[in-house]
Amino acid sequence: MSELISDYIGLIFFVIAMVASPGPANIILFALGCTQNFRKSVPFILSVALSKQLIIWPIGFSLLLINDLISQYSSIMMILSILFISWIGYKIIFMDLSVKTKSTIWAPRFYHGLLVHPLNPKAWLMVTLAFTAFQSQKVSTETILNIALIFLLIQVIFHSAWFWFGSLIRKADLSEKNSRIVKIALLISLFVSIVFSYY
């Protein structure tokens, strides 16, 4: 019993470290916070957090049922995730960090957020490593549910925080030079998180 509690405590600290660190989801939310109102973006933030569930449950059940499911799925996901990350980079380069009201700003919908983690290599790494915390125990449906709930709670907190940090940038009304610095920092963070995920 104490070993199981220790596994969960380790899992919680691991999830906090991974969810709070830069990655495609947090960078999208930061960039969105630079241009959008928080209240209008709550459905998108929630859908980004929920999108991790689209990875947790298949990985968890594949560990229970079919171990080679992940390897068959991973090559397709790698190609899709590279395209997705390239799209994020494109959006970051061309985003406008000024506070002028623009009717042409793209406002993501709930269903857009559901694509974020299934196409995010860092999310796949994070979830797979989360399940390894239970190597000493057998993975069960209860374990999958607990991992899913821990991720969801921590994601709602930290994804909202990343959005809020982005909104601080928007309110700062940065100069063109400082806007470029923020964009470069976001692109570097995105690149580092992807390299970390694949290597």
* Each residue's pLDDT tens digit, 57-73: 988 887 776 555 556 66
CA 111 to chain centre: 15
- With beta carbons less than 8 A apart as the criterion, state whether 26 and 154 touch: no
Write the pLDDT tens digit of every residue in 143-168.
889 999 999 999 999 999 989 988 88
3-class DSSP state for residue 34?
helix
Q: Please, what is the average pLDDT of the chain?
A: 80
- With beta carbons less than 8 A apart as the criterion, state whether 24 and 162 touch: no
Q: Both tokens of residue 48?
A: 């980004």
pTM of the complete model:
0.72
CA distance 9 to 113: 28
